Amino acid sequence: MYPHCMSEGRSSTHATNELEHAASSYLRSAQHQPVDWHAWSEQAFARAQAENKPVLLDIGAVWCHWCHVMDRESYEDAEIAALINRLFIAVKVDRDERPDVDARYQAAVSAISGQGGWPLTAFLTPDGRPFFGGTYFPRDDRYGRPGFGRILSAMATVWSERRDDALETAASVMAAIEHNESFSGRDAEGRDALTPALAEKIASSALKQFDPRNGGFGAQPKFPHPAALDLLLEEAVNRGNQQARTAFTVTLEKMARGGVYDQLAGGFHRYSVDERWVVPHFEKMLYDNTELLRNYVHGCQSTLDGGVREDFLTTAREIVAWLDSTMTDRERGGFYASQDADVGLDDDGDYFTWTLEEARAVLGPAAPGPGPAAHGIDELELAAEYYDIGELGDMHHNPAKNVLHVKQTLQEIAAKRGRDAGELREILGRAREKLLAARALRPMPFIDRTLYTGWNAMAVTAYCETARVLRLEPARDFAVKTLERILREAWDGEAELNHVIAYPDGLEASQKAPGTLEDYAFTVHACIDAWLAGGDMRHYRAAVKLADAMIDKFHDRAGGGFFDAPAPAPGALPLGALSARRKPLQDAPTPAGNPTAAAALLRLEALSWPAAAGGRAEYRRIAEETLACFAGIVEHFGLYAGSYGLALERLLSDPVQVVIVGAGPPQRADLEAERLETTAIVGYAVNKTVIRLAPENLVPGGLPEALEETILAAPRPADAKAWALVCKGRACLPPVVDSEALLAALAARV
């Protein structure tokens, strides 16, 4: 059952269960199911213990196709529901709303069955310890899987007749979670293991999986790996690794030309089911698009082939256009969580795909007479050739359906036909506009308008970087508006940061989803990036407060590293598997919490290092200790350790700070400041910071401690409208006033 519609055969007037009081879109989608669902709560487990019943746990997401399938097949089936209600206490969890719960039970089910994913189906003791689980179970035996009714009866029998076996299994599974999720990787070398060689090993491990023909890593299915791609770019630009350069550019090229990219509206789908990036799972996630946006922006920065990559530039602009038009609260600020893949269980990406007849109905052959058709090509013909639209398409459920992807570039088509590429671009542009307008008339897949703190903070960072590199002031303004909403609605101004900023339609959750390590770490980055974008010291001060709260809540002072969730209050017993402490290291799918937190602390330390100003040396110490904690095991994570590699590069490289002083927006008369800033941002480097400041910011208290000590003490060039100051490590070069001198300063060793 989809959040915006009832599935066949069930009236919206059916009696509701407890989930009618939920705020989560996924939970509310199940409020009319005949299962007596509970939200994750103390009350649910108290009832299970009082009635001595095992718990049936379902974890899914509003964008998850197979979650909807299992809903319709099993949870909306009266017979199955009656079995569940008689034998179990049923608990439903939104994995986006409670990633802390999801992470632990994913680990548990992986330990039990060797697989994970959504829907996650687990059977728990009344106190929440898992003794059996899997993912999707069909209503009846098929797909080589046992039917759900049979599974339910078997698990109830295990609990009633072989309880000791269930309890023994639950104990061993909990022990496995504790062991596997603690990542106690500190070895005898400790900090000595933190060398460039370790970052190179992580990059090399990723490169071993690179697919040189199709881009990406491994075979089907193919997921994007944004942090690994940025690590490869770092290795390419700053270490001259040609193989890394190739992997980065080929992957970005192939992904942007594939069906995994929405060729009409922009934005990436979650992953591709084939190795060529043609047929995707059609849901679109905010976090994928913010991190891939950064990849393409970093590619634009780096002039990898001796000039600006126009294709990367176009892709970045189109991602922003899609996010702006579809995934944002323009009035109040904020980015929505996800867009579903389809509008019902009987279609598979039909909103996004086209038959040749559907395309012909929209474009049609051009009328005879003057115009493009008279010269040998019309909109339909060009669109069909460019997007590979044919009688035989790509989708198994409907072979006539085509996933639009770029089989031949416009330059290749122009060369083959002896045509001007610019003329073909105009024809294709008109065709694309018509196809997009026609698609807009179709029922649109559901958009979850929940605003999650960590994902919104990632979007703030992505928009700030995009605004700087692509000179998109509206993107910067919206990023700042979004951050202000995070700080206003999700943060108490001191220590408490919630996981959710706001639910759709003004709904309020009965209990707040607690902020995770990732929420805090990403928001620290967002505050730093917003300060860089606008120079507002409130954002810098918020970053410091949040970093201190993050350390206080999540840092393991005894063992090093950060836990993903705070320790329970004294005397409190965490529910179920939440008793397992875990230290997130693996990027899956978003950047992992520990390296993200370490990188945030390193960025802040570089801005606050002067001892005379009470510099925060503990930030660097904790960051280094965190990375050392995992140094003995991280190379084995390879492709999934990109964010660790980037944090390590930041630790090992002296920070490079480029401060451009000159009138900023909306004062656009200072062209010299513009030229200096444009020069400064060329070339991606994880350790480089560029900030543009207006002269009025150059006052005591108007800058972070490190910059105040250096900039205010630096001589101001006489009669210069704008100048740049380059600081590397703890030393600064004399100010420069033109782009050539700035390039020389950036290349110089201090």
For residues 370 and 262, state if they share a domain.
no
Q: What is the mean pLDDT of residues 24-37?
A: 97
The per-residue pLDDT for range 395-430, each reduced to its tens digit, is 988 999 999 999 999 999 999 999 999 999 999 999
pTM of structure: 0.94
Predicted local confidence at residue 256, as pLDDT: 98
For residues 132 and 32, state if they share a domain.
yes
- Say if residue 8's pLDDT is above 50: no
Predicted local confidence at residue 9, as pLDDT: 32
| Residue 475: inside a domain | no
Share of the chain above pLDDT 90, in %: 78
End-to-end CA distance of the chain: 62
Nearest Cα to Cα of residue 149 among 92, 77, 91, 93: 77
Three-state DSSP at 555 gives strand
Q: What is the 3-state secondary structure (H, E, C) of 615-643?
A: CCHHHHHHHHHHHHHCCCCHHHHHHHHHH
| Residue 4: inside a domain | no
- Say if residue 2's pLDDT is above 70: no
- Give me 180's structure tokens: 């596997």
Provide the domain limits for residue 398.
Answer: 356-439
The single-letter code of the amino acid at 135 is T
| Residue 347: inside a domain | no
| Residue 610: inside a domain | no
Q: Of the candidates 326, 341, 375, which is a domain's last residue?
A: 326
> Who has greater pLDDT, 682 or 706?
682
Predicted local confidence at residue 10, as pLDDT: 34
- Give me 649's structure tokens: 């590069």
| Residue 637: inside a domain | no
Predicted local confidence at residue 26, as pLDDT: 97
Distance CA 232, CA 34 (A): 50
What is the dihedral sign for C-alpha 504, 506, 509, 515?
positive
178: number of Cβ within 10 Å: 16
Residue 711 neighbours by CB under 8 Å, 6+ apart: 659, 661, 693, 698, 703, 725
Helix ranges restricted to H, 88-124: 99-113
For residues 167 and 231, state if they share a domain.
no
Share of the chain above pLDDT 70, in %: 92
Nearest Cα to Cα of residue 540 among 705, 324, 361, 393: 705
Contact 321, 333 (CB under 8 A): no
For residues 734 and 671, state if they share a domain.
yes
What is the dihedral sign for C-alpha 407, 411, 414, 418?
negative
For residues 160 and 251, state if they share a domain.
no
| Residue 171: inside a domain | yes
- Say if residue 137's pLDDT is above 70: yes
Q: Of the candidates 397, 415, 439, which is a domain's last residue?
A: 439
Residue 484 neighbours by CB under 8 Å, 6+ apart: 333
The per-residue pLDDT for range 262-291, each reduced to its tens digit, is 999 999 999 999 999 999 999 999 999 999
In this prediction, residue 188 has a pLDDT band, given cuts at 50, 70 and 90, of: very low
For residues 75 and 140, state if they share a domain.
yes
| Residue 127: inside a domain | yes
- Give the distance from CA 208 to its chain's centroid: 24
Q: What is the mean pLDDT of residues 137-151?
A: 90
For residues 63 and 164, state if they share a domain.
yes
Please give the C-alpha separations between residue 188 and each of 10, 46, 594, 629, 660, in angstroms, as whole numbers.
62, 45, 20, 10, 44
- Say if residue 613's pLDDT is above 50: no
Q: What is the enclosing helix (H) or strand (E) of 56?
A: strand 55-60
For residues 314 and 365, state if they share a domain.
no
Predicted local confidence at residue 7, as pLDDT: 33
In this prediction, residue 663 has a pLDDT band, given cuts at 50, 70 and 90, of: low
**Interhelix angle 379-387/356-363, nearest 10 degrees:** 150
Query: Of 178-182, 330-334, 368-372, which gets the smallest average pLDDT?
Result: 368-372
- Say if residue 11's pLDDT is above 50: no
Name the E strands within 381-538: 447-448, 451-452, 500-502
Contact 92, 116 (CB under 8 A): no
- Say if residue 696's pLDDT is above 90: no
- Say if residue 564's pLDDT is above 50: yes
Starting at the edge strand found earlier in the chain, the sheet holding 338-339 runs 284-285, 338-339, 447-448
Residue 114 neighbours by CB under 8 Å, 6+ apart: none
> What's the DSSP call for residue 569?
P
- Say if residue 55's pLDDT is above 60: yes
Predicted local confidence at residue 750, as pLDDT: 59
**Interhelix angle 242-257/286-301, nearest 10 degrees:** 130
- Say if residue 371's pLDDT is above 60: no
Three-state DSSP at 95 gives coil
Distance CA 358, CA 356 (A): 5
Q: Of the candidates 391, 420, 439, which is a domain's last residue?
A: 439
The per-residue pLDDT for range 112-134, each reduced to its tens digit, is 998 899 999 999 999 999 999 99
| Residue 560: inside a domain | no
| Count of structural domains within the chain | 4
Distance CA 564, CA 581 (A): 8
For residues 248 and 397, state if they share a domain.
no
Q: What is the mean pLDDT of residues 185-189?
A: 50
Predicted local confidence at residue 610, as pLDDT: 59
Q: What is the 3-state secondary structure (H, E, C) of 355-407?
A: CHHHHHHHHCCCCCCCCHHHHCCCHHHHHHHHHCCCCCCCCCCCCCCECCCCC
CATH number at residue 89: 3.40.30.10
Query: Of 10-24, 34-48, 58-72, 360-374, which gets the smallest average pLDDT?
Result: 360-374
By residue count, the chain amounts to 750
Contact 383, 435 (CB under 8 A): yes
Query: Of 27-31, 281-285, 394-398, 611-615, which gets the smallest average pLDDT?
Result: 611-615
- Say if residue 139's pLDDT is above 80: yes
Predicted local confidence at residue 367, as pLDDT: 46
For residues 168 and 24, state if they share a domain.
yes
For residues 77 and 174, state if they share a domain.
yes
* Mean pLDDT for the chain overall: 91
> Who has greater pLDDT, 674 or 253?
253
For residues 292 and 252, state if they share a domain.
yes
- Say if residue 12's pLDDT is above 50: no
Residue 147 neighbours by CB under 8 Å, 6+ apart: 137, 138, 139, 140, 141
Predicted local confidence at residue 345, as pLDDT: 78
